[in-house]
Amino acid sequence: MLRYIPFLFLVIFISCKSRPKGEVLAAKYCSSCHMKVSPALLDKATWLKHVLPAMAPKLGIGVWDDNKYYPGKGGISIAEWNEIVNYYKELAPDSLKATTPALKADTDHFVVHAPVVEDTIYRATTTMVSIDPFTGRVYSSAENGHIAALYKWEGVQYQKVLDLQSTGVDLNWIAPDTGILTCIGNLRAVDQLSGVIWRVSPLSPEEEKVHTIAMGLPRPVQTIPFGKEYISLGFGHKSGGLYLLNEETRKTIRDVPGAIHAEVGDFNKDGYPDVMALFAYDDEGIWLFLNDKKGGFTGEPLLRFPPVYGSTSFQLADLNKDGKLDIIYTAGDNGDYSMILKPYHGVYIFLNKGNFKFDVDKPDFFYPVNGCTRVIAADFDQDGDLDLATIAFFADLKNNPAEKFIYFEQKKALSFEPHAVAGLASQGRWLCMAAGDYDKDGDLDLALGSYSRGFIIQDGYEPAWNIHTPLVLLENKKK
């Protein structure tokens, strides 16, 4: 056995010598925090003017005049950093081609219902839409003029039912007209412990409307009942995490920022509930946390993605009807250091190969959607298989605004026909989406919430939609 060791070292040495020095250094230093990022994933200007200057301080390198560097304290040497910069400078493309196929807009699947907005003082800032599965009532939350509230809708007429400390971003219904409301605290990327979780009954008498579950949370974005406790996702900024909490205690499951979406279930069939969570910051990916039956969890990554992907959501569903839960995943956040259209943004399907093993390098389905924000898988046309609905906040607003909402009708196994909805693109820019039978006719409808303040990443573009419309309802035409 020992006679092979010198040969092994020789192979490693030759392999390292054949790779650019900057690549070796990037793998050594950068990949300690996240997946390796190929130069091909961003254009040259984005690497040199935005991403690398933002990363330099994390490795102890000082930055001046936006993209010039000087030695710092306690980090890598300036010579090593310059090798990394040169590696990306030499190999990054001049531009990326990010194109979503042209979409046919039709009225075959959904009817658009939009409110008549009389108050045009504020732009729409809807951060949450929700459909009560028990009653079909539609709710939304927004922050108008820094005053946050929860609204109830009757058709396209709405009324305020609750004043909030900060805008709501998640409402998980546990009984008719009773749900767990998550308020983020601050929409801006700051480390501020001002998020709250409430149990709300918006139609109850005033003294019974709100009960506080937790306060002082790092920008929470989702809360899921977990027995007598709750799973809470603190997206945070530089600090955050995945938590198990109740009204008295909070236990950290994973102490990293970027927790953005979770699903709960008995994934290993041992009789105890587990958690699957998507993290969308630095080390992006989906993690499985198995219940250790002692009040804690053991975690392992299922899928990992480069930090430029901008993970936004996932859903579990058995798409190929083999009895195993598959993952439908979206990538599309574009509000960070690399604000360009990206060809790898879109909706992905990863089939479960067994025991939650997935092939991240070979998704079983991918459809490019610039800035894809969320996916909902459901049998919208009631033909026995699952269809998909996606929204894209960072869509190609200039050239393909129809991709802000796409309905994917599954025609045969993992073969989807994409549709846009006629007249919808002019109504809003969709940040949030919910499915439910709001008209109680037996099929699933959709509610889309519009956010029209800021976050335009395409130079010279002005909104071409009604910037005051807070929400639209998409009535399913199946019934």
- pLDDT tens across 11-51, in order? 333 344 457 888 998 888 776 677 789 999 999 999 999 99
Give the mean model confidence (pLDDT) for residues 387-408.
97
Residue 191 pLDDT: 93
Do residues 322 and 413 make contact, with C-beta atoms less than 8 angstroms apart? no
What mean pLDDT value characterizes the chain? Answer: 92
**Could you tell me the CA-to-CA distances from 228 to 178, 219, 224, 273 in Å, in that order?**
16, 23, 11, 12
Is pLDDT above 60 for 1? no
> Where in the sequence is the domain holding 40, given as residue range(s)?
21-91
Answer whether residue 372 shows pLDDT above 60: yes
From 314, 342, 350, select the one nearest 37 (Cα to Cα).
Answer: 342
Question: Phi first, then psi: what are they for 203, rounded to 5°?
Answer: -100, 5
Q: Is the predicted pLDDT of residue 411 greater than 90, yes or no?
A: yes
Residues 184 and 72 both lie in one domain: no
- Pick from 91, 118, 148: which residue ends a domain? 91
| 450-474: average pLDDT | 95
For residues 211 and 360, membership in a common domain is answered with yes
Whether pTM > 0.85 for this model: the answer is yes
State the pLDDT at residue 7. Answer: 39
Q: Do the beta carbons of residue 419 and residue 406 sit within 8 Å?
A: yes
Chain centroid to Cα 119, Å, comes to 30
Q: What is the pLDDT of residue 348?
A: 98
Whether 39 and 156 share a structural domain = no
Quick check: is 9 in a domain? no
* 161 in a structural domain: yes
16 compared with 442, residue with greater pLDDT:
442
Tell me if 243 is assigned to some domain. yes
Instruction: Compute how many other C-beta atoms are within 10 angstroms of the C-beta atom of residue 43.
Output: 17
Query: 9: helix, coil or strand?
Result: helix
Whether residues 81 and 223 fall in one domain: no
Is the residue at 1 inside a domain? Answer: no
Query: What percentage of the chain carries pLDDT values higher than 70?
Result: 96
Whole-number Å distance between alpha carbons of 307 and 287: 15
Which residues 6+ apart lie within 8 Å of 17 measured at CB? none
Mention every residue, 6+ apart, whose C-beta is less than 8 A from residue 468.
117, 119, 120, 122, 123, 124, 452
